[in-house]
Amino acid sequence: MKWGTKFPASDVNRLRAMVRRHLATPHRFVCFTDNPEGLAEDIDARPLPEVGWADEPDINAHGWRKVGLFGETLADLEGQALYLDLDVVIVDALDPFFAGDAAFRVIKDYRPLRWRGDSFVGNTSVMRFEIGAHPVLLERFRSEFPAIRETLRNEQEYLSHYFHDLGLLEHWPQAWCPSFKHHCVGVGPLTWLRTPRIPAGARVIVFHGDPKPEDALEGRGGKWYRHIRPTPWIREHWG
Residue 171 has pLDDT above 80, yes or no: yes
User: Which CATH superfamily, name and number, covers 9-173?
Assistant: Spore Coat Polysaccharide Biosynthesis Protein SpsA; Chain A (3.90.550.10)
- Mean pLDDT over each residue of the chain, to the nearest integer: 92
Is residue 23 pLDDT above 60, yes or no?
yes
Q: From CA 66, how far away is CA 41, in angstroms rounded?
A: 24
Using a 10 angstrom Cβ sphere, with 0-12 exposed, 13-18 middle and 19 or more buried, the burial of residue 134 is buried
The pTM (predicted TM-score) of the whole model is 0.93
Side chain identity at 184, as an amino acid letter? Answer: C
For the chain, give every domain's residue range.
9-173, 180-237
pLDDT at 115 over 50: no
Q: How far is residue 100's CA from residue 155's CA, in Å, rounded to a whole number? A: 25
CB atoms within 10 A of CB 100: 9
Q: What is the pLDDT of residue 55?
A: 61
The pLDDT, as a whole number, for residue 56 is: 65
Least confident of 29-33, 116-120, 211-215, 235-239: 116-120
Q: What Å distances lie between residue 182 and 63, 157, 171, 210, CA to CA?
A: 21, 20, 18, 11
Specify the pLDDT at position 62. 75
